[in-house]
């Protein structure tokens, strides 16, 4: 790591006294490091998009200034350097929600209720009118961009799949219809955008959110589906149903839900299908294009969610059946 950066972030400290440990990141262009001093530790994010020109307007800075004052626990932002594309943050430890839930299954429902409480707080933040994040949304174009990412990397550029042009055309048409069902601007709330068990740290028993810089407006189901239909951690069906109902009740208490539970549950499946399809595209891209083979192991459990959606929601049957027929035979 560049000594000039460490000198700028920690004036008066000898850069040689710092132990720098890379942190394995998620599907991101950002790089993360843990900086260890004798007196404590910090997290350093190197983000190529963070520059001197946008030190006050970068999405991470803007989102941090919205979430922290609203009581949503996020790592403290300690110092920045646009020159070095660097954001120095509080170290919120190494314990992810994923790990706690796996190690203490009897505590999982209580744990996830805490997380949904945080999600409801985030989703209750009122728009200030500023373009980021409140001028961004999961509109039809954005949802279709995510579907197109899947088409490109899971099917068209996947050497293990032979996908005729007619099938791709049919999928696009189906995806467009599905996306339209999820565009209800009057019901949009703020969403984290990557609200899964590896982006929620557990610090002193409380959830702390990371990787929130891509937040935007959308249906409240978007983040809930990411959490409860997580590619990294599969919850038991009965528990997932209890937690969907709990999220619905929280939204109703906050007057953020305009539908009855039946419609809410229906939209959850539609959104979860969209989220899982996008995740499949990400996993194929990370494993096949970037060579990060560890992401390949999440393809099968993500595909495993689809049959349930198809059984419950007829409008997903055509698209879901095509996806399963194309991808399941390629899995070893």
Look at residues 90, 107, 132 and tell me which one is the last residue of a structural domain.
Answer: 90
Q: Please write the tens of the pLDDT for every residue from 245-286.
A: 999 999 999 999 999 999 999 999 999 999 999 999 999 999
CATH number of the domain residue 183 falls in: 3.90.1200.10
Q: What does the pLDDT look like over 14-26, one tens digit per residue?
A: 888 899 999 976 6
Distance CA(27)–CA(49), nearest Å, equals 15
Q: What is the pLDDT of residues 62-120, one digit of tens each?
A: 999 999 999 999 999 999 999 999 999 999 999 999 999 999 999 999 999 999 999 99
Closest CA to 306 of 272, 332, 278, 281: 272
What does the H/E/C string look like for 144-194? HHHHHHHHHHHHHCCCCCCCCHHHHHHHHHHHHHHHHHCCCHHHCEEECCC
Residue 34 has pLDDT above 90, yes or no: yes
Could you tell me if 132 and 259 lie in one domain? Answer: yes
The burial class, CB within 10 Å (0-12 / 13-18 / 19+), for 219 is buried
Confidence label for 1 from pLDDT (cuts 50, 70 and 90): low
Q: Are residues 152 and 61 in the same domain?
A: no
Q: What is the domain extent for residue 108?
A: 97-330
pLDDT tens by residue, 311-326: 999 999 999 999 999 9
Q: State whether 152 and 257 are in the same domain.
A: yes
Q: How far is 137 from 83, CA to CA, in rounded Å?
A: 30
- Do residue 224 and residue 314 come from a single domain? yes
| Helical H segments across 107-157, by residue range | 108-123, 131-134, 140-150
Looking at the fold, whether 81 and 106 belong to one and the same domain comes out as: no
How far from the centroid of its chain's Cα atoms is residue 116's Cα? 14
pLDDT at res. 110: 97
Model-level pTM?
A: 0.95
The domain total for the chain is 2
Cα–Cα distance between 25 and 103 in angstroms, integer?
Answer: 22
81 in the same domain as 137 = no
Residue 223: partners with Cβ closer than 8 Å, 6 or more residues away: 119, 122, 123, 191, 192, 193, 195
Give how far Cα 225 sits from Cα of 14, 103, 222, Å: 46, 22, 5
203 lies in the same domain as 166:
yes
In this structure, the answer to whether residues 70 and 183 fall within a common structural domain is: no
Among residues 72, 90, 108, the one where a domain terminates is 90
pLDDT digits (tens, 9 = 90+) for 178-216: 999 999 999 999 999 999 999 999 999 999 999 999 999
**Which of 90, 123, 153 is the endpoint of a domain?**
90
Residues 307 and 325: their CA atoms lie apart, in Å, by 11
Residues 262 and 279 in one domain: yes
Residues 78 and 219 in one domain: no
**17 and 162 assigned to the same domain:** no
* Cis amide linkage into residue 36, ω under 30° from 0: no
Contact partners, residue 71, CB within 8 Å, separation at least 6: 121
Same domain, 125 and 216: yes
Rounded mean pLDDT of 48-53? Answer: 96
């Amino acid at each position: 790591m560049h000594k000039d950066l460490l000198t700028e972030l920690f004036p008066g400290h000898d850069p040689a006294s710092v132990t720098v440990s890379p942190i394995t990141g998620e599907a991101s262009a950002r790089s993360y490091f843990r900086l260890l001093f004798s007196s404590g530790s910090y997290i350093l994010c190197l983000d190529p998009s963070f520059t001197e020109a946008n030190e006050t307007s970068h999405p991470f800075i803007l989102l941090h200034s919205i979430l922290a004052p609203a009581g949503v626990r996020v790592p403290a932002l300690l110092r920045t350097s646009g020159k070095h594309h660097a954001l120095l943050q509080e170290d919120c430890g190494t314990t992810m929600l994923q790990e706690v839930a796996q190690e203490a299954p009897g505590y999982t429902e209580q744990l996830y209720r805490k997380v949904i409480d945080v999600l409801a707080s985030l989703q209750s933040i009122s728009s200030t009118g500023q373009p980021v994040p409140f001028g961004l949304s999961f509109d039809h174009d954005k949802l279709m961009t995510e579907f197109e990412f899947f088409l490109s990397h899971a099917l068209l550029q996947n050497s293990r799949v032979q996908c005729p042009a007619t099938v791709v055309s049919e999928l696009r048409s189906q995806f467009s219809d599905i996306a339209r069902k999820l565009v209800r601007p009057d019901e949009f709330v703020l969403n984290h955008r990557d609200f899964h068990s590896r982006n929620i740290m557990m610090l002193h028993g409380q959830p702390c959110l990371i990787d929130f810089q891509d937040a935007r407006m959308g249906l409240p189901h978007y983040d809930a589906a990411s959490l409860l239909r997580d590619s990294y951690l599969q919850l038991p069906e009965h528990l997932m149903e209890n937690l969907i109902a709990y999220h619905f009740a929280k939204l109703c208490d906050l007057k953020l839900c305009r539908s009855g539970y039946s419609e809410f549950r229906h939209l959850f499946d539609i959104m979860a299908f969209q989220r899982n399809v996008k995740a499949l595209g990400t996993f194929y891209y990370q494993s096949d294009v970037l060579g990060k083979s560890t992401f390949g192991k999440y393809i099968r459990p993500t595909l495993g969610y689809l049959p349930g959606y198809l059984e419950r929601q007829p409008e997903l049957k055509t698209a879901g059946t095509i996806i399963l027929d194309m991808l399941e035979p390629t899995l070893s």
